[in-house]
Structure formats: C-alpha cells, structure tokens
Amino acid sequence: MFSKEKFQDFLAKLNTGYTPYVLILVHIMIGAIWVYSSPRSNVAFVVFISSLLTLYGLNTNKIFKLSAGLILALVVMPVLGVRNIFYLEIMFQISVFAALSLGLNIVIGFAGLLDLGYVAFYAVGAYLWGFFGSQQFYAIPYAPGIQPSDLPFLLPGDMFYLFIFIAIIVAALTGILLGLPVLRLRGDYLAIVTLGFGEVIRVLANNLDKPWNLTNGPQGITPVQRPTMPQFAVDGFNNFFGGIIGHTVSKADVYNVFFYLLALLVIVTIIQVVSRLNDSKIGRAWTAIREDETAAIAMGIPLVQMKLAAFATGASFAGAMGVLMAASRTFVSPESFSFMQSIGVLTMVILGGTGSIPGVILGAATVTVLNLQILQGFSLYLSQLRQSDAVIPIINFAWKNLSTQLDPAKYQRLLFGAILILMMIFRPAGLIPAARRQRELAADDEE
C-alpha cells in the first residue's frame, strides 16, 4: 500500500549512493537537449533551469556539484542562450535580481530591518554610470529632447569596470546617509520611511531635468556606454562554440553572453561576501539584533553601527548591479526603480526564505521566471485566443470579446501580493529556510 513513510523511504533511497549523480545528469541532459532542439519552448527552459535545483538539493559530493555547476553556467547556458537570446536575458535578469535579493536579504533576513525602498540604491548605481558613462554631462544645459545628438561622451566605456567599484562605495554611503537618521526607528516605521526614500529617489530621477538636466527626466538617459568588446573575443567565441550553436554569433549576442557572465561573477562574489560576513561577529550581531534588539544592545552590540553596516552592505550590492544593468541596457530611466520593483525584490526574499542564501536565489529565480515566462506566456496565449473564434463553453463567452486591457503580463502586483500573503500565512520561513551553521567544535576532542 502507498503510505507516507514508504514514499519518504523511497525518496531517501533516491538520494543515496550513485542514484543522485545519475538523476542530476539525466535531468541536465534532458533539459539541455530539449532546450537545444526546441529553443522556443517555455516548458523546456523551466525543466532545464530546474536542474540547478536538483544539483543543489541532491546529495552528491562537492567537487561534482561544483564542476557540474560550472559547466552548466559557463558552457551549456551560453550555448543554449545564444540559440534563443531570450533565455540569456532571463538568466541575466535572474542574476541581477538574485544579487538584489541577496543584498536586501542582509537588511531584512539578517538584521531584520524591513527596507521597502531598496531599489533606490540600485537606481543610485544605475544613474551613476548612466550619468558618467553617457553624454549626459554635456547635455546638462539642454532640456530633454532638444540636446544635439553629437555630444561627446564624458568617459571612455571601459571606465565601466572602475564604476562598479565606485558605485559600491557611493551606494554604501547613500545607505549610511539614509540610515543615520532613520535606523533608530521602530521596524514598521522604518519600513514606511524607506518606502518614502525610494519614492524620493524616483521622483528626483523623474524631475532632475531642471533646473539642470542631470537625469534627462522621464525619458531617461541613453545611450549609456558598454565596455569595449575586442573583435578577438567575438571570433574566439565563434571558433569555440560556433559549431555547436549552428550559426555565426554576432557581436551583440557576445555582449549578452558577456553581461550574463559578468552578472554571474558578481553573484558568486556576493555569495562569498555574504556567507563570510554571516559567519563572523558581524553576521552574528545582525542576527542577534533581528532576534532581540534589547538583549543585543545589552550584550554590547552597538545597534546603530551594526544596522548601518547592514544597510550599507545591502546597498552596495544594489549599487554594483545598477552599473551593470545600465551598461547592459545602454539605458536608464526612472521607471525601473518604482516601488513595485522594491516589492518584487522583497517577494523574492520572502518566497525563498529570509536569511537563507540559497533560498533567496531560488526566490529570485522563481519570481523572475514566473514574471517573465509564465505571466508573459499566459498573455501570449490569451491574445492568441482573442484572435481565434474559440468560445468558453457553458457560459458561451467568446474569447474575442475579452477586454484587451486584460494582459496577464501586467499583473505582477497580483503575483507579488499573492506570494507575500500566502508565504506569511503558510510558510513564513520561505521555501528553503535559513539554517544556522553547525560547528565542528574542535575542542570536543580534548576529553
């Protein structure tokens, strides 16, 4: 008979010995081949990237995990991504949002401070490079729309790399400036004030086209430069992967691969930084503050200083990602930094598990895929139905008559809202709850 215990036994068996290795490889193969052969299928892509989950979750040794992950990220994904550039875009977005989520996770998950204006720091990074990496400096005297098109660029595109670091510092400083006055506040007030700060940044971005044109207003700044891409890199990529991809890869696509890899690099760095901080007196102090502020301060933890550190660290990640985003899009505009974006990132953190590094990455991936693939896929499907003669049986409603205003791709709020409510009620710790580090305790052997 079927029983829960037997099922769990079965699962446990799947997770021992060589079986997990086989399962992972099979999953990766199926996903990769499927995506390779039908690059437009959404299902195939979901199957493919979920292999990362299998890889993460199943019980295999570290070297296998690491090498499989590396091959997936550095070889398989670029190849598949170039065949359908949309996937590369999704992977890039996942990386960007994962970085933002990891940053917000420090603030919310570790230190327990609800920051509802987090994308403001992202905006700081994006506008920093948006301003210095474009012609905007020379466009200051001109109102939006009337600047001459032949203005020079202020800095060479390769300054991009330097600006990633500058953005880290500037965003961290912004975090400290905002944090200093407000971090003494109670948690729920802090949430509203940060929300306000986020709106302030957005409104400033919208309106600082006068008296001096610093942001070019609602139209945004474009073109923002990318770092240079040498021809040999394009040729090299083609020589190496051209055969298996099946067509010559353009420079634009190599750029996409480049930004994807760069985002990946940033993510890996962030993960390292976050987990190392978490496993030091700083991380312990953050968690202590989250658990009980009064006890923490009585134990000698300087509250404001540690909260500022959390704010600044979280902000710096967003700042770095902002620069990356501005360059990859060659465009910044206030729209990308709305309150909804902040809530989107919050949703990722909550869904994945506050305080849990693998959790928030999963959260970022899930929400991004839901957002970019499922909702948009649904939209596409509806618009196809609208063009057909199909009718809903029983109520006899012709799809044709369905309002064109109904576009599921625009219903992100519904998605975010539903996730937030359901998670809070049913699984407040998230999909992958945070686990405390188990210490080996060398001292144990003494006795």
Partner 1 sequence: MKRFSETINVRELLRPIGQMIAFSLGGGAVLSLVVVLLALLLDQTAVGQNLQARYSVSLVTYTLANLPQVLIDGLTIGFVYAAIALGYTMVYGVLEFINFAHSEIFAVGAFVGVEILIALKNAGILSAASLGVAYLILLLALLAGMTASGFLAVAVERIAYRPLRGAPRLVPLISAIGVSFFLQDIIRLVESLTTGQFNRIIPTFGNFDERLIFGQLPLGATTVVLGVQIKSLIVILVAVIMLVGLNYLVNATKIGKAIRAVAQDRPTASLMGIDVNRIISITFLIGGTLGGAAGVLYALKFTRIDPFVGFFPGLKAFTAAVLGGIGNLTGALLGGIVLGLLETFAGAFMSAFTMGAAGAEYKDIFAFGILILVLIFRPNGLMGENVSQKA
Partner 2 sequence: MALLQAIDVTKRFGGLTAVNKMNFELKKGEIVSVIGPNGAGKTTFFNTLTGLYRPEEGKILFNGTSLIGLRPDQIAARGIARTFQNIRLFGNMSVIENVLVGMHFHLKQNMVSAILRFDSFKKEELEAEACAYELIKYVGIDTSLSNELAKNLPYGGQRRVEIARALAADPQLLLLDEPAAGMNPQETEEVTNLFRRIRDEKEITILLIEHDMRVVMRISERISVMDYGEKIAEGSPAQIRSNSHVIEAYLGRGAVAGQHEEMVK
Q: How far is it, in rounded angstroms, from Cα 400 to Cα 390? A: 8
Query: Applying CB under 8 A, which of residues 77, 195, 320, 321 lies at the interface with partner 1?
Result: 195
Binding piece for partner 1, criterion CB under 8 A, among 62-70, 111-119, 313-321, 370-378: 111-119
Length of the chain: 447
> What do you get for the CA distance between the two ends of the chain, in Å?
49
Q: Which residues bind partner 2 (CB under 8 A)?
A: 272-273, 276-277, 279-282, 284-285, 287-288, 291-292, 294-303, 309, 313, 436-439, 441-444
**HSE-up of 174 (CA within 13 Å, CB side)?**
27
414 touches which of partner 1, partner 2, none (CB within 5 to 8 A by kind)? partner 1
C-alpha to C-alpha distance for 335 and 341, rounded to whole angstroms: 9
Shortest separation between residue 115's beta carbon and partner 2, angstroms: 19
Does residue 300 interact with partner 1 by CB under 8 A?
no
The yes or no reply on residue 418 touching partner 1 (CB under 8 A) is yes
Nearer to partner 2 among residue 143 and residue 299 (C-beta): 299
Q: How far apart are CA 225 and CA 213, in angstroms?
A: 19
Q: Which entry of partner 2, partner 1, none binds 287, CB below 5 to 8 A by partner kind? A: partner 2
Partners of residue 221 on adjacent β-strands? 332
116 part of the interface to partner 1, by CB under 8 A: yes
Q: Pick the binder of partner 1 from 43, 392, 417, 435 (CB under 8 A).
A: 417
- In the bound state with partner 1, the residue whose beta carbon lies nearer, of 144 and 157, is 144
**CA 284 – CA 278 distance, rounded (Å):** 7
**Could you tell which of partner 2, partner 1, none binds residue 284, using a CB distance below 5 to 8 A set by kind?**
partner 2
Out of partner 2, partner 1, none, which partner does residue 441 contact, by CB within 5 to 8 A per kind? partner 2
Contact between 218 and partner 1 by CB under 8 A: the answer reads no
Identify whether the C-beta of residue 236 lies closer than 8 Å to the C-beta of residue 254.
no
The residue type at 278: N
Instruction: Rule CB under 8 A: say whether 207 interacts with partner 1.
Output: yes
405 binds partner 1 (CB under 8 A): yes
Nearest to 78 by CA among 240, 226, 269: 240
The 3-state DSSP class for residue 338 equals coil
3-state secondary structure of 398: strand
Among partner 2, partner 1, none, the one that 243 touches (CB under a kind-dependent 5 to 8 A) is none
- Least Å distance, CB 240 to partner 1, is 45
Distance CA 364, CA 431 (A): 12
Query: Is residue 403 near partner 1 by the rule CB under 8 A?
Result: yes
Strand partners, 392: 397
Structure-token pair, residue 222: 């474009």
Nearer to partner 2, 294 or 405 (CB): 294
The DSSP line for 88-126 is HHHHHHHHHHHHHHHHHHIIIIIT----S-THHHHHHHH
Contact footprint for partner 1 (CB under 8 A): 108, 112, 114, 116, 181-182, 185, 187-189, 191-193, 195-197, 199-200, 203, 206-207, 210-211, 294, 298, 339-340, 343, 346, 350, 403-406, 411-414, 416-421, 424-425, 428
